[in-house]
């Protein structure tokens, strides 16, 4: 009886989680909200979604081939699909095809592979893709449409959709403003929040997704359901979503109480923009968020506060993507200062003092 | 009783049911026993027998030598075939000096030391000497000579003897079975140990996944007011000494200190039973219960195995392999050591022999780290495996040391949960090995430096003395004695030298 020489230390038991399984569960959690939004925004959204995800996979494959890494095996980890998926959800649903492709190139080639591929990137790839597009093509990136559910009256058919996505024929009459954008514009015209709030969709419509916005900004309930599913599956923990939404709500509520004419309410901030998508799916990205729980709390609070600040004081009505990217850059330093205390040692790493016995 | 939380930990698949309901069976004596001189932490024992000697069961065949060591005894009667090098039960598969004994089949006990009639009136020395004489080492796996741990009562004020019956490793059921079948012997041994240590309390910690053991032990301790059984949560690595002490007493052992510095001494339940045998019957440690399990073993079992039986013989006794094992592990799957050869013998610290299939081990090629942080969450030592591994990969061991890699006790929780299947423990074991070597080198060169300095001082001193003598002679010739100054210098140098040597 001879046995193989083992060249590796223990343990000789391993759990059943894997990168692929983790990514797959996140995709599964995104599916209900995505299907609902593809239905609401119709054929152009379906085309843009397909183009964006496809472009991400293609760019990933090209980068892997260039770097001499195994292409098929690495693509199987689904990380490129997830990036493309989240990216598509952050774009205006009727945006032209080249927005999706360019965003994919920036997300995958620049934000991910230039840093060394999966796990090495400092910034959230999908948010880099979206932000570069927003800064470079502010017009195309802020043309929102009201939902036109598939097969409903006035919704574009497949042929119209091809014209919209690939032909650049955006029907003028259809554009609408997102709630955050509308309030901001009105405010700049001197119309107080108290008045402009009467024009934004009511809470019920915002919750269900019947409002203008990027795909992932709407359908809060389904995004929430997906987030809770990920928590139940222990893919994400409560720390980032709760600290992020909590801090955003609290600071918004505080300023709303001080000056309701200038600042919108906490509830409005939670319900509008990409708050839910960002809290559950963007800010929780493993690679670009801190590893320890205290670090994740700090990160979440930072994203919440920055989002509110950017929405209120910066040039853009929506601040989630910027806030996430800014906090991404702080992740290494947060990690360094929030390492857990080692067993039997003080925070500084000195052995604990021996206490006098009772 | 209120328990205290411990950090991190995991809930692996325990798979204890493969062997937990199998009552302890006695392994028939194999054709030969291989008794290594070193089965414990410390110095190897010194051989007392030679080829051709006839020995009786329980006769000492190798004596402990040095401060930390343990004796070896013949597990049965027979003839010494030879003393030679045999593969050690160590992942290296390197040979070590081993006594080979051919049993004569009679299994006759030799002359044993007299039982200690009333151990509770005997002094601590009598009991410790008996434990040392009986070759007892920690049977939970670490194999530290038990008598040394029993002497701690002399140096430190202790208040609790904590008996470790957690058995948190998957598959292993030997402690479970011993507690279920020999509860009274364990408790008697524990009370004797507590007497020797001078601890007023005995606490037996058992994980909640062993309800029968908890019930049996609780019943058995009911007669003794100072002994209690505490069911601890099922949370690997609860059986780690420091973590069990924290869970039960709330005391956190400082780094570089012992639990004994906090008044707690921990012994394994099987060790307590061995103490019972040694004190009450004079019997040395010559056999132990080993869990033979794993998907590749035909008939998993708990086997009372003579020390020195080859793993191959033990596996054969359990029906052999039903499938090709991917690894054969000495100990539990989390912290056990892979065996390089089935020719290696069962030793005093062998709690289990596991033949594991590929599916059970479920190891996969490593992927890129996605920084999910699971390893940070589960680390029971509060370390950041993700960061340490990153630095070790770049061979930046100083930073890894700063991050606490030497505090890692290789429990394997991080490797278990890692979704990318990165062999984190492998990295840490590598780093610990290299860092230890560097530390040894540093100490060595420091010692050499000190010795060299002392030598320089000595030579200078001799030269000085010579000059002084010369100077003394000159003034003597001039008839004016003034030799005080040089002698004062000599005194200073002498003090400096002593300081150096003492350092």
Q: Are residues B404 and B441 in the same domain?
A: yes
Which of A4, A9, A116 should one mutate to test binding to chain B, selecting the residue with the greatest count of B CBs within 10 A? A9
Count of domains in chain B?
3
Dihedral sign, CA of A343, A348, A352, A355?
negative
Select from A113, A103, A108 the least CA-distant residue to A49.
Answer: A103
Q: Are residues B350 and B396 in the same domain?
A: no
Nearest Cα of chain A lies from the Cα of B457 at a distance, in angstroms, of 37
- d(C-alpha B142, C-alpha B151), whole Å: 18
Interface of B with A in 77-136 (CB under 8 A): 91, 93
Nearest Cα of chain A lies from the Cα of B225 at a distance, in angstroms, of 21
Of B340, B370, B384, which has the smallest distance from its Cβ to A287's Cβ? B370
B180 within some domain: yes
CB B55 within 8 A of CB B78: yes
CB B268 within 8 A of CB B175: yes
Of B340, B362, B415, which has the smallest distance from its Cβ to A5's Cβ? B340
Interface membership of A349 toward B (CB under 8 Å): yes
Where does residue B41 rank: exposed (0-12), middle (13-18), buried (19+ CB within 10 A)?
middle
B5 within some domain: no
Q: What is the CA radius of gyration of chain B?
A: 27
- Partners of B383 on chain A (C-beta within 8 Å) are 340, 342
B253 within some domain: yes
Q: Are residues B80 and B46 in the same domain?
A: yes
Choosing from B289, B311, B344, the residue where a domain stops is: B289
Dihedral sign, CA of B392, B398, B399, B400?
positive
Interface of B with A in 387-416 (CB under 8 A): 387, 402-404, 407, 410, 412, 415-416
Q: Are residues B151 and B254 in the same domain?
A: yes
Interface of A with B in 104-143 (CB under 8 A): 117-120
Of B361, B371, B426, which has the smallest distance from its Cβ to A119's Cβ? B371
Choosing from B332, B361, B390, the residue where a domain stops is: B361
Q: Which domain holds residue B468?
A: 367-503
Q: What is the CA radius of gyration of chain A?
A: 22
The interface pTM score, or ipTM, of the predicted complex is 0.88
Which of A14, A77, A346 should one mutate to test binding to chain B, selecting the residue with the greatest count of B CBs within 10 A? A14
Q: Which residues contact B150 (CB under 8 A, 6 or more apart)?
A: B124, B127, B128, B131, B193, B196, B197, B265
- Partners of A21 on chain B (C-beta within 8 Å) are 419
Instruction: Return the CATH number at B205.
Output: 3.40.50.11540
Of A11, A291, A352, which has the smallest distance from its Cβ to B376's Cβ? A291
- d(C-alpha A80, C-alpha A65), whole Å: 14
Q: Per-domain residue ranges for chain A?
A: 19-336
B7 within some domain: no
Residue owning tokens 């009552």: B23
B391 within some domain: yes
Q: Are residues B416 and B318 in the same domain?
A: no
Instruction: Return the CATH number at B355.
Output: 3.10.20.600
Q: Are residues B247 and B393 in the same domain?
A: no
Residue owning tokens 């559950």: A280
Interface of A with B in 266-305 (CB under 8 A): 286-287, 289-293, 296
Of A9, A293, A340, which has the smallest distance from its Cβ to B423's Cβ? A9
Nearest Cα of chain B lies from the Cα of A152 at a distance, in angstroms, of 43
Nearest Cα of chain A lies from the Cα of B90 at a distance, in angstroms, of 11
Select from A158, A124, A160, A165 the least CA-distant residue to A143.
Answer: A165
CB B48 within 8 A of CB B60: yes
CB A283 within 8 A of CB A240: yes
Q: Tens-digit pLDDT profile for chain A (358 aa)?
A: 455 556 678 899 999 999 999 999 999 999 999 999 899 888 999 999 999 999 999 999 999 999 999 999 889 999 999 999 999 999 998 889 999 999 999 999 999 999 999 999 999 999 999 999 999 998 888 888 888 888 877 778 888 888 888 887 766 656 667 778 888 888 888 888 877 777 777 766 767 767 777 877 778 889 999 999 999 999 999 999 999 999 999 999 999 999 998 899 998 899 888 899 999 999 999 999 999 999 999 999 999 999 999 999 988 888 899 999 999 999 999 999 999 999 999 998 899 998 654 4
3-state secondary structure of A28: helix
Q: Are residues B219 and B304 in the same domain?
A: no
Cis peptide before B219 (omega within 30 of 0): no
- d(C-alpha B112, C-alpha B135), whole Å: 13
Of A12, A345, A357, which has the smallest distance from its Cβ to B336's Cβ? A12
Where does residue A347 rank: exposed (0-12), middle (13-18), buried (19+ CB within 10 A)?
exposed
Residue owning tokens 């040392």: B132
B211 within some domain: yes
- d(C-alpha B230, C-alpha B245), whole Å: 12
- d(C-alpha A204, C-alpha A222), whole Å: 13
Q: Are residues B134 and B117 in the same domain?
A: yes
CA distances from B245 to A349, B249, B263 (A): 21, 6, 10
Pairing between β-strand B54-55 and β-strand B78-87 as defined by DSSP bridges: antiparallel
3-state secondary structure of B414: helix
- Partners of B368 on chain A (C-beta within 8 Å) are 19, 117-120
Which of B293, B420, B422 should one mutate to test binding to chain A, selecting the residue with the greatest count of A CBs within 10 A? B420
Which residues are bridge partners to B80 per DSSP?
B101
Closest residue of chain A to B334, computed from CA coordinates:
A11
pLDDT at A220: 86
Select from A162, A107, A158, A147 the least CA-distant residue to A130.
Answer: A107
B326 within some domain: yes
Of B170, B257, B402, which has the smallest distance from its Cβ to A13's Cβ? B170
Interface membership of B424 toward A (CB under 8 Å): no
Closest residue of chain B to A356, computed from CA coordinates:
B262
Closest residue of chain A to B360, computed from CA coordinates:
A13
A22/B321 CB distance under 8 A: no
B6 within some domain: no
- Partners of A286 on chain B (C-beta within 8 Å) are 370-373
Q: Are residues B279 and B380 in the same domain?
A: no
3-state secondary structure of B156: coil
Give the count of beta carbons closer than 10 Å to the beta carbon of residue A167.
12
Choosing from B310, B328, B361, the residue where a domain stops is: B361
Q: What is the mean pLDDT of each run of 10 residues along chain B (503 residues)?
A: 90 94 96 93 92 95 91 96 88 87 94 92 92 94 89 88 96 96 96 94 96 96 95 95 95 92 95 96 96 96 96 96 93 93 93 95 91 95 95 94 94 95 94 94 94 93 92 69 48 50 47
First to last CA, chain B: 48
Q: Are residues B418 and B388 in the same domain?
A: yes
Interface membership of B429 toward A (CB under 8 Å): yes
pLDDT at A6: 60
3-state secondary structure of B365: coil
Interface membership of B423 toward A (CB under 8 Å): yes
Q: Are residues B311 and B271 in the same domain?
A: no
């Amino acid at each position: 009886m001879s046995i193989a020489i083992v060249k590796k230390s223990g343990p000789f038991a391993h759990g059943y989680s894997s990168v692929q399984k983790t990514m797959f569960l996140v995709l599964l959690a995104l599916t209900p909200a995505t299907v609902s939004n593809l239905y609401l925004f119709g054929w152009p959204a379906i085309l843009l979604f397909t183009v964006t995800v496809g472009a991400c996979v293609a760019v990933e494959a090209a980068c892997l081939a260039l770097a001499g890494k195994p292409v098929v095996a690495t693509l199987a980890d689904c990380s490129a699909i997830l990036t493309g998926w989240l990216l598509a959800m952050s774009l205006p649903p009727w945006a032209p095809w080249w927005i999706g492709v360019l965003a994919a190139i920036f997300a995958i080639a620049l934000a991910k592979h230039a840093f060394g591929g999966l796990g090495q990137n400092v910034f959230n790839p999908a948010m880099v893709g979206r932000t570069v597009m927003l800064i470079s093509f502010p017009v195309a990136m802020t043309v929102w449409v009201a939902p036109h559910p598939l097969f409903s009256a006035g919704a574009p058919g497949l042929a119209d959709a091809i014209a919209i996505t690939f032909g650049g024929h955006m029907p003028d009459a259809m554009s609408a403003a997102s709630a955050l954008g509308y309030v901001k514009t009105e405010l700049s015209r001197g119309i107080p929040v108290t008045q402009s709030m009467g024009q934004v969709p009511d809470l019920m419509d915002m919750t269900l997704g019947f409002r203008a916005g990027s795909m992932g900004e709407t359908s809060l309930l389904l995004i929430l359901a997906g987030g809770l599913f990920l928590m139940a599956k222990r893919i994400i923990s409560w720390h980032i979503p709760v600290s992020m939404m909590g801090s955003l709500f609290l600071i918004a509520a505080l300023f709303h109480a001080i000056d309701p004419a200038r600042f919108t309410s906490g509830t409005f901030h939670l319900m509008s923009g990409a708050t839910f998508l960002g809290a559950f799916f963007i800010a929780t990205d493993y690679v670009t968020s801190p590893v320890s729980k205290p670090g994740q709390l700090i990160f979440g609070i930072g994203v919440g506060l920055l989002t509110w600040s950017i929405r209120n004081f910066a040039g853009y009505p929506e601040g989630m993507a910027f806030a996430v990217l800014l906090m991404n850059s702080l992740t290494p330093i947060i990690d360094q200062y929030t390492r857990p205390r080692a067993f039997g040692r003080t925070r500084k790493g000195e052995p604990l003092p021996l206490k006098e016995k009772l | 009783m209120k328990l205290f939380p411990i950090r991190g930990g995991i809930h692996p698949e325990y798979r204890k049911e493969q062997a937990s309901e199998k009552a302890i069976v006695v392994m028939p004596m194999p054709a030969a026993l291989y008794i290594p001189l070193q089965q414990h932490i410390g110095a190897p024992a010194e051989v007392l027998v030679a080829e051709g000697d006839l020995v009786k069961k329980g006769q000492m065949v190798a004596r402990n030598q040095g401060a930390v060591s343990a004796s070896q005894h013949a597990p049965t009667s027979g003839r010494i075939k030879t003393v030679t090098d045999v593969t050690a039960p160590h992942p290296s598969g390197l040979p070590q000096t081993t006594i080979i004994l051919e049993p004569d089949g009679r299994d006759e006990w030799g002359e044993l030391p007299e039982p200690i009639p009333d151990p509770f009136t005997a002094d601590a020395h009598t009991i410790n000497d008996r434990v040392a004489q009986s070759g007892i080492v920690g049977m939970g796996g670490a194999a530290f000579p038990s008598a040394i741990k029993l002497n701690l009562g002399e140096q430190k004020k202790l208040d609790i003897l904590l008996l470790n019956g957690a058995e948190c490793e998957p598959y292993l059921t030997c402690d479970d079975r011993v507690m279920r079948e020999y509860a009274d012997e364990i408790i008697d041994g524990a009370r004797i140990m507590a007497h020797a240590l001078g601890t007023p309390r005995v606490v037996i910690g058992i994980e909640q996944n062993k309800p029968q053991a908890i019930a049996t032990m609780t019943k058995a301790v009911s007669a003794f007011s100072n002994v209690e059984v505490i069911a601890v949560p099922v949370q690997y690595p609860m059986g780690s000494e420091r973590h069990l002490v924290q869970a039960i007493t709330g005391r956190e052992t400082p780094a570089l200190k012992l639990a004994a510095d906090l008044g707690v001494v921990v012994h394994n339940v099987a060790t307590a039973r061995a103490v019972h045998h040694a004190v009450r019957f004079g019997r040395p440690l010559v056999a132990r219960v080993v869990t033979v399990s794993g998907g590749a073993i035909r008939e998993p079992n708990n086997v009372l195995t003579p020390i020195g039986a080859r793993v191959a013989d033990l596996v054969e006794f359990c029906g052999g392999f039903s499938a090709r094992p991917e690894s054969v592990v000495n100990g539990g799957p989390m912290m056990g050591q892979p065996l390089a050869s089935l020719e290696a013998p069962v030793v005093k610290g062998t709690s289990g022999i596991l033949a594991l299939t590929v599916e059970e081990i479920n190891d996969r090629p490593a992927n890129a780290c996605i920084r999910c942080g699971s390893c940070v969450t589960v680390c029971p030592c509060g370390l950041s495996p993700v960061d340490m591994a990153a630095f070790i990969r770049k061979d930046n061991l100083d930073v890894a040391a700063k991050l606490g890699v030497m505090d890692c006790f290789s429990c394997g929780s991080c490797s278990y949960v890692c979704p990318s299947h990165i062999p984190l423990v492998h990295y840490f074991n590598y780093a610990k090995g290299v860092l230890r070597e560097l530390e040894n080198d540093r100490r060595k060169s420091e010692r050499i430096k000190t010795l060299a300095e002392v030598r320089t001082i000595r030579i200078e001193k001799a030269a000085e003395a010579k000059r002084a003598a010369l100077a003394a002679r000159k003034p003597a010739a001039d008839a004016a004695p003034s030799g005080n100054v040089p002698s004062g210098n000599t005194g200073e140098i002498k003090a400096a030298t002593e300081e150096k040597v003492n350092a």
